[in-house]
Structures are given as structure tokens and as C-alpha cells.
Amino acid sequence: MTAAIALQHVTKVYGNTPVVNDLSFSIQPGEIFGLLGPNGAGKSTTIRMLTTLTQMTSGRIEVAGYDVARQPVLVKQQIGVVLQQMSVDVDLTVWENMEFHGRMHHIPNPRRQREIDRWLEYVELSDRRNDLVKTLSGGMKRRLQIARALLHEPRILFLDEPTVGLDPQTRRRLWEIIKGLNQQGMTILLTTHYMEEVEYLCGSSFGSYAVPNHIGILDGGKLIALGTLEELRRQHGEGLVMKQAGDRWDYKFFPTMSEAQAFFEAQPHKAGMMVRPSNLEDIFVELTGRNLD
């Protein structure tokens, strides 16, 4: 099976500083791939290179089978992009934003109107189609960005921190929208600062073909971990014993929960200690030495 996205030894240098350093990984069709990393790790630069917005210094990138450096126009036809920055025109209506995007992609009428109606209904904005975007909430604007990105029927969707700054209820609704797209076969690359978002969207498979979803962790421009959520937990330990040390906690990983429990029970002094299953945030902190935020 040809990869939906493939990076081979990709490097991006600004000045003399490598922001992305010898990055190689692939994403299979129908997969939700979660790309994590602390601020400055190179996530947004990687997204910008994949979406033709920034040229790589060296290496090779293929998206939907097309070479990003040599065939950028063909790549753009196959991708939808929702960047962290709000990019919809607030002085136009919801419908006008969609109409403009459809014309830019040369979608003919009446198909263009059918697709606008389809995707506005999918993101639950049909009743706001004639409203100025400036009157919408932050969550509605993000849903409009997603609808617009899907209008030309891309094969791959890039979501760069799509739920940042949104309230928990709105974030959950967007998760369901993303999950629904993947169930229809959409390949999705997601960056986020919310660990529970990655665990929910990448922790299990939703699509018809049950393609395993993977998580990659960047730090200092390098890929330091790659695997499914369960693979990462097995590699670093499924059980965790925490012990309070002053104003911080010390973590000790164990291959299984039973081993962690046995270690805990064997301690003569259990005050300030607890045992629990490990999660993605524990693994992230173990690998990078700091929280995602």
C-alpha cells in the first residue's frame, strides 16, 4: 500500500539552526496520525513543509503520491488544511467564505452549491450560512474552517491544533467531527497540545479498514518516539508508581500494572505514594523531561 504521507530524511534549517532534523516517517491511508512535541519542537514547520507552505532544506516528501518539491500544485489539490491561526474572512458570510473557496478550486456549479450545503450541514452550520463570520463563536469559526478545507474533497486533512482555546464541550464536538471524517476513510494528520485529544483520536481505530493510528513525538526537531498508543505504553511501561518528593512527583515505570502494584505493596512506607496505569502524558514527560504546555 502506498503511503498517504512519506518523509525521508527531511531537514529544515533557519540560519544555522536545524528546526527539523533528519525527519523520517510515513502515514498510511485512512490513519489518524498524532504529532506531538513541546513548543519549538518543529511541529508547525513540519506541517508547513507537508502542505507546500515552506520549502525543506533537504530530504524528500511525498503527499498523496506526489512530490511536494516538484509537484506542489498536485499536492494542494489532494489536501485540506486547518491551521492554528484563524484564516476565514470575518467580513464575509459563512456561505461567501465557502463560495470563494469553491471558486478558487474551480468547482463548477451546481456541484459547488451541493458541496457547500453538504459540508455546512456536516459541521452544523447550515442555519448560520447567511451570517457574517464575525458574529460566530470561536468553535463555529473552527467548524467553518474544517468545512471549507473539505469542500474540494481532499484525500488528506491537516489539523494544526484545531481545538486550541476552545471550551471542553466544543472540543468534544470537534473530536466527533474528526472521528466521523476518519470513519469515512479520510487520512488525518493532527497536532495538538491536549493529551486526552490524542488518546481519544489516536488511541483506537475508527475507519472501516481499522488502520492502526500512530503517534509521533518530536523534540528539538527530531523524532524521538513513534508507535501506536499501546506500543508506546508497552515500550515504556503500562504500570506507574508515583511518590511525592517535596513539591514534585517521582515516577517509576513498570512493564505491567501487576508489577507496579507488587512494588507498591512491598514498600514499608506508603505515605505520599500511589499506583496507576501510565498514560500518554507520563510517557511524554519521561521522554522530553517537560510537560507539553
Q: Quick check: 293 pLDDT over 50?
A: no
pTM: 0.90
Nearest to 42 by CA among 204, 219, 286: 219
For the chain, counts of helices (H) and of strands (E): 10, 13
User: Which pLDDT tens digit goes with each residue over 120-138?
Assistant: 999 999 999 999 999 999 9
**110 with 102: CB under 8 angstroms?**
no
Given a cut of 50, whether residue 167 has pLDDT beyond it is yes
Q: Domains plus CATH for the chain?
A: 5-233 (3.40.50.300), 238-277 (no CATH)
What confidence score (pLDDT) does residue 290 get? 59
* Among 275, 244, 272, 281, CA closest to 259: 275
Q: Model confidence at 292, in pLDDT bands (50, 70, 90)? A: very low
What confidence score (pLDDT) does residue 193 get?
A: 84
Radius of gyration of the chain (CA): 21
Q: Is 207's pLDDT higher than 60?
A: no
Mean pLDDT of the chain: 92
**57-76 pLDDT tens trace:** 999 999 999 999 999 999 99
CA distance 62 to 2: 10
Mean pLDDT to the nearest integer, 243-262: 91
Does the structure show a pLDDT above 90 at 99? yes
